[in-house]
Each structure stands twice: as structure tokens, then as C-alpha cells.
Amino acid sequence: MGTFGRRLLLAVDAKGYGGVDVVTQREWQEAIRRLLEEAARVAGLDWEQWVTQVGGDSVFAVLPQGASEPALVDPFMRQLESGLRMFNRNRRDEAWLRLRAAVHFGTASPAANGFEGRAPVEIGRLLDSRVLKAALAAAPEAHLALAVSATVFNDVIGEAYTTIRPQEFREVRVAEKEYAGRAWIRVPGYDVERLDLGVAGPGAEDGPGGAEAAAARPRSAPTAPGDTVVHVINGTVHAPGAVFGISK
């Protein structure tokens, strides 16, 4: 029987790594490790205790038990974005290092070739999701795009354990391979709600038929015959003489 444990996970990946020359790839690899170490130091997270798997332009890290989730989401990410901004200063546009990052907390235990459990798989799906890639692509001046899992958003950001407001995140649906779930995305320096992610909203299906289906009928279009309209009102409504319903 395997060992059960819940751990804090981080994954990062560089945009456009395969399209740059070898010199730039080398610079990016060195910068990614340095910037992660600096961000960990600033956030008070012991980098030496991290277990990392490196794949050129990508890093998957399992933090030690007891590592602070608010520290990883807030000061770590702020320092990482700041470090990226400094690294990219005076570099030509095509040589900018721009990262996608994902944070998750869940089951992950040591195994023969890394870690096993649901969380390592799930954070990989968040990092490689079409919606996170779209967020970075839609924000050309951004250096970082972050996705956090529902667990992290609800327990850390939603409960005000960070200085980052929940309104700075946008809820999206992620459906990648066998994984389907919710995520919250933040792009520092941008109003993420205004970015075109190719999705209709948190309650809509992503991918083909998502945003397109939502746009098929204009908001002002009349209800088609046979359609069912449901109006849900939460709380007390004071509307003397009002009539709620559909008049044919």
C-alpha cells in the first residue's frame, strides 16, 4: 500500500521555448532556475527542501510538508513576476521569457520515478490547459500567467489569506485529456475578465461550441417558441404590482 500524503505543488513552463535559438534556450533555462530560487527566498520558502523535476523550459516542484500556500501564491508569485520583468528589460520581444505557472494542493506521494497521486496529474493539466495558454497569448505585455486549483483558490485566496483579491482571478473550466475541473486564472497587470480566452464563462463548456454557441443568439434576441425560461431570484424582492413571467 502506498504512502498517503497531501503536498503543495508548483509547475511552470516557458512560452515559445521551441521557437528560439539555442543561446536563448540556455539563457531561459538558467533564468528560470535562478528566478524560482529568488522568489522562494523572498517568500520564505526553503528552496533546498523542494523536490524538483526539470525538463528544459519546465519545472515541476513538490514543496515540503507544511510549506505555506499563501506564501507561494502571493509573495512568491509577485517576486517571480518582478524577476521576469527585470530579466526581459531591454531584450528583443522574441527573446522575452514568459511563464505559465500553476499551483495546486493535493495527494502526492514519493514513487519510483517521481511522485504518484492525483495532484501531480491535475497540476500538469492546469499548466498545459488551452485556457491558460490563451490567457498568456491574449496579454502580450504580460510576463506571467497563473492558474490555481479550486482547492487553493477557495482555501487561500477566497479566505483572504493573501493580499491578492479574489476579483483579480477569473474562474474557468479546464478539460484536458481525462481531467475536467475548475481553475482560477490571474495575469498580473491585466484585467483577466477582459481577456479573450475563447470561453463563454464559468458555467459554459469550453472548446468547440463554447463561446461560439453563446454568441450564436444575440442577447436581445426573443425567446424561441418552446423554449423554457427560468428566472431565479435570490433574496427578497420588493416590487408591488410587478408581473414576472413570459407573455405570449
Q: What is the pLDDT of residue 154?
A: 96
Q: Which helix (H) or strand (E) is 235 found in, with range? A: none
Q: What is the pLDDT of residue 2?
A: 56
Q: What angle (nearest 5°) sits at the alpha carbon of residue 205, between those of residues 204 and 207?
A: 135
Q: What is the pLDDT of residue 116?
A: 81
Q: What is the pLDDT of residue 179?
A: 83
Q: What is the pLDDT of residue 208?
A: 38
C-alpha atoms less than 13 angstroms from C-alpha of 86 in its C-beta half-sphere: 11
Q: What is the pLDDT of residue 178?
A: 82
User: How many residues belong to the chain?
Assistant: 248
Question: CA 150, CA 182: separation in Å to the nearest integer?
Answer: 6
Neighbouring C-beta atoms of residue 231, cutoff 10 Å: 7
Q: What is the pLDDT of residue 235?
A: 47
Question: CA 102, CA 114: separation in Å to the nearest integer?
Answer: 18
Distant-in-sequence, close-in-space partners of 161: CB < 8 Å, separation ≥ 6: 69, 70, 155
Q: What is the pLDDT of residue 39?
A: 98
Which parts of the chain register pLDDT below 70? 1-4, 199-248
Q: Is the pTM of this model over 0.95?
A: no
